[in-house]
Structure 1
Amino acid sequence: MNTHIHKFLNETWSSRYQKELSPDLLTFLWSVIASIFSLGGLCGALIGGSMAIRLGRKGALLMNNVIAILASILMGISFPTGLFELLIAGRFLIGINSGIGLCVQPLYIGEFAPKHLRGGLAMGTSIFLTGGILTGQIIGLRELLGGEKHWPLLLSSSCIPALAQLLFLPWFPESPRYLLIDRGDELSCAKALKRFHGSSEYRREMEDIQRECFALDGEKPKKPWQLFTDRGVRWQLITVIVMTMGQQLSGINAIYFYATYVFQQAGIMAEKIPYVTLGTGVCECLTALSCGLLIDYVGRRCLIIGGYLLMTLWCTVLTFSLTYQELYSWVPYMSMTCVFAFILSFGLGPGGITNTLTAELFVQSSRPAAYMIAGTVSWISFFTVGMLFPFIVNGLKQYCFVVFLLECFFVAAFIFLIIPETKNKSFLEIKKEFHKLNFGRNARKKDTELFERRQLQDEFLKISA
């Protein structure tokens, strides 16, 4: 599709100014179109948490669909109107839509899910994200919507899931935790829990939310900058920043960059490579589904540490295989295997569990701000990788994977030493796990205060019952 957009830019410029578009200016316009998405994603991440607090989780998602539809319209009409500026504006808006969605959707799912199923349900974000990537790869083939005549339709197709969500989401309840803790609406919270968990199972979840509400003692949702000065969430915040940066800087972009070269070296014809590349999308979907099935049985720590360690292994093997690519006829196939193995390892651990842990490490008052910080770090890292990656590859060649294997290993070590297992634990129990890390010597005094508060809390719940 790159070729078609380049042709569109050239033709639009020529008809508008009666002169050819210079190669440097063409490169600049293409770079703006490609990178403006990341800028939009950053803006979306910065406002997503505030929207979730003011409009509610469900209200923020509904409003976000309006942005997606507007973006689709702008990108779709850019070609017939001959205005490439509309394509840039549409890419920026769809970036905002993505930034808000990746902030609010896991927040919503993480808050209504029961703790024994929270991991699997939270993985829904990654499952449908990878499914969307695969769908885009399929409909982007030149036989479908990737041809010269149909690429505006391909860009406009992003309105389809937005319209579907506008149609179905109003029938779903608001987040029960948001209703009780943020709004103080116990009746609506109970109704929402009955819808989500059934009339016979909702009481246990209701008690858990009431405990968290009592522990927060009317604490208002925090701003992102307040988390940086709150000692009670210091290590949770450090953990989220390290995991988010680790996910973006893990080398997944380098793998996709080298995939075409690896496939060519394995003897696959250039015109067949787009079809082989579909295999990478299938790998991501399969691992996201596998991770969703395993996360509540195996646990978060095992999957994410294992994923990073496997990525470290494949980076090592790929560095050697790319270095000795031409020595033996079987080495290109080894490189090809490493590409798919790396993608499988990424999807099984860092690709899916990072968002899940972001939801679990914070209580209600800190969670939206934590997602804003995580989203901001993620989009800045994504943009930075996009800007610096070509220089890293040109300078280090295949040895760039040495940098990525070290990064993967150190993130795995950090998670092993710092992050507790969160499987089947309430948000308050997870907060208690970080208590000693956050307060050190003062932990014993804080433990006494928490014990006294817990006793009052249990007495209050007995009276309420």
Structure 2
Amino acid sequence: MTDNKNTFNSRYILGISFISALGGYLFGFDFAVISGALPFLREQFMLDAWWEGFLTGSLALGCIAGCLIAGRLADKYGRKPGLMLAAFIFAISSVAIAFSPGLTFFMLMRFAAGIGVGMASMLCPMYIAEISPAKVRGRNVAINQLTVVIGILVTNLVNYFLADTGENAWRWMFGLGTVPSVFFLLGVIWLPESPRWLMKAGRDAAARSVLHKIGSVEFVDSTVSAIQRSLTGNTTRTLRELFDKRVRPAVAVGITLAVFQQFCGINVVFNYTSTIFESVGANLDRQLFETVAIGFVNLVFTLLAMWQVDKMGRRPLMLIGSLGLSIVYIILAFMLQEQFPAGMVSIFVLLAIGMYAISLAPVTWVLISEIFPNKIRGVASSVAIVSLWGAYFILVFTFPVLAKKLGAYGPFYLYAGICLMGFLFVLRKVKETKGQTLEELEDNLIRH
């Protein structure tokens, strides 16, 4: 049953979506802070290409652990406790990194920060999807991506202004992450638990109470009925269930999209902006300025994605983004190879960011949050996002080594080929999901 004729408390839905999405801001912070800090960390810890890649990728290893923790925690205790734990880990790790006495401690705390990032990257979009009516679910889940890019932009701006404060500028860059962490923790205390998790836990009255705050009586009754149908039968959630022939197609699509979002290569641009622009002769000030420009473009195109994800749909945006990235990468690789001026290189770097921000960045998270059945959403999301962070580690670990051997331009030819393969995968395997409730998507999956 669709929710097109029901009425909703839009202000309340947006409010809890934005509070949950503050986890995305912290995700954006930890993701972007390394770009501004890396020039200082190279000198501080005398990093070669291998250690630079491992230091950057250590966040991803923590993210993998965080996803595994969050999956079990979310299914056993609920989405809200997981969000609170993620906020607490963010706050502690930010302070610890700022006071790092050496490289080993720094990487341990960067790993710990990754645990918080991994938990938030899984729980925030899943929570928003579970409290959002179908007709606005895509937009609301994309709010999480909006806060990610705001976190990236603000962090890049702060990094730019801190760059002239001396050799310990990187300590301030990381330490300031404590402030948004505390705000997130306080906000999560106010959030209700996910009504879908409450019903899985047998707390139907509490679920109805939350749903009444979200929408009309008709919405509550239809949603409760649909959730009850989706939860009939065995409610034990194990990895073995992911191999059930009825859900295998969704799991395969979710994992492939997650890996593709990273192997498309754009996070090399985010994390190694300074390396890319240094290769065409840009000084440190220009390198850090480019991170700010990237943040602004990322924000603008994410807003466009939020506007279009429930109108144009998920599939068309993914097709446009993957094919567009492939074309832009080929041009960008050629420009880097031929040592074009930094200003011209910047145009195509920003074009690549725009293509990604309107497509693969938000839409992948939307699809992962909605294509899995209710009974296995926690464990299936965990597996997909573990795959995403594993791919991220491989990407950022290998780039400095590849760039040293092939030049900064070489890897972009590879990423162009991956984007073309991603375009063909979306064209053949990804179905449109806009406007359908989570339970309708589950029914369609089982029927097919």
Provide TM-score, normalisation by structure 1: 0.80
For 1:276 and 1:357, the matched residues in 2 are separated by: 30
1:121-200 correspondence to structure 2 within 5 Å: 121-143=140-162, 147-180=166-199, 182-197=200-215
Matched with 1:413 is: 424
2:232 to 210, 217, 233: 217
1:240 aligns with 2:240: no
For 2:318 and 2:42, the matched residues in 1 are separated by: 40
- Tell me: CA distance 1:129–1:145, structure 2 relative to 1, closer, same or farther (3 Å): farther
Q: 1:372-391 deviations in whole A, cap 9, x for unaligned?
A: 11121111111111222234
Contact kept? 1:246, 1:411, Cα under 8 Å: yes
1:418-429 correspondence to structure 2 within 5 Å: 418-429=429-440
Give, in angstroms, the shift of residue 151 of structure 1: 3.2
Contact kept? 1:146, 1:154, Cα under 8 Å: no
Give, in angstroms, the shift of residue 318 of structure 1: 2.2
Contact kept? 1:64, 1:101, Cα under 8 Å: yes
For 1:93 and 1:384, the matched residues in 2 are separated by: 19
- Tell me: CA distance 1:315–1:36, structure 2 relative to 1, closer, same or farther (3 Å): closer
Q: How many residues align?
A: 411
- The one-letter code matched in structure 1 to 2:213 is R
1:293 aligns with 2:311: no
Query: Which structure has the larger Rg?
Result: 1
Q: CA RMSD in A?
A: 2.7
Matched with 2:347 is: 337
- The one-letter code matched in structure 2 to 1:303 is L
For 2:49 and 2:330, the matched residues in 1 are separated by: 34
Question: Which 10-residue stretch deviates more, 187-196 or 139-148?
Answer: 139-148
For 1:210 and 1:147, the matched residues in 2 are separated by: 61
- The one-letter code matched in structure 2 to 1:138 is L
Question: Which 10-residue stretch deviates more, 35-44 or 211-220?
Answer: 211-220
For 1:184 and 1:343, the matched residues in 2 are separated by: 44
Give, in angstroms, the shift of residue 277 of structure 1: 2.5
Matched with 1:351 is: 361
For 2:123 and 2:442, the matched residues in 1 are separated by: 21
Give, in angstroms, the shift of residue 320 of structure 1: 3.6
Matched with 1:303 is: 317
Matched with 2:26 is: none
Matched with 2:107 is: 88
Q: 1:323-351 deviations in whole A, cap 9, x for unaligned?
A: 4446xxxx765433211111100010001
Give, in angstroms, the shift of residue 165 of structure 1: 2.0
For 1:206 and 1:3, the matched residues in 2 are separated by: 56
Give, in angstroms, the shift of residue 411 of structure 1: 1.2
Give, in angstroms, the shift of residue 358 of structure 1: 0.7
Matched with 2:16 is: none
DSSP-derived class of the 1:297 partner: coil
For 1:166 and 1:75, the matched residues in 2 are separated by: 19
For 1:138 and 1:145, the matched residues in 2 are separated by: 13
- Tell me: CA distance 1:97–1:28, structure 2 relative to 1, closer, same or farther (3 Å): same
Contact kept? 2:304, 2:358, Cα under 8 Å: yes
DSSP-derived class of the 2:309 partner: helix
For 1:120 and 1:221, the matched residues in 2 are separated by: 31
Question: Which 10-residue stretch deviates more, 316-325 or 162-171?
Answer: 316-325
Q: 1:428-465 deviations in whole A, cap 9, x for unaligned?
A: 3223443465xxxxxxxxxxxxxxxxxxxxxxxxxxxx
Q: 1:246-277 deviations in whole A, cap 9, x for unaligned?
A: 11010214445775577568886543331132
For 2:259 and 2:61, the matched residues in 1 are separated by: 17
- Structure 1 unaligned regions, length at least 5: 10-22, 438-465
Higher relative contact order (CA 8 A, sep 6+): 2
For 1:59 and 1:159, the matched residues in 2 are separated by: 19
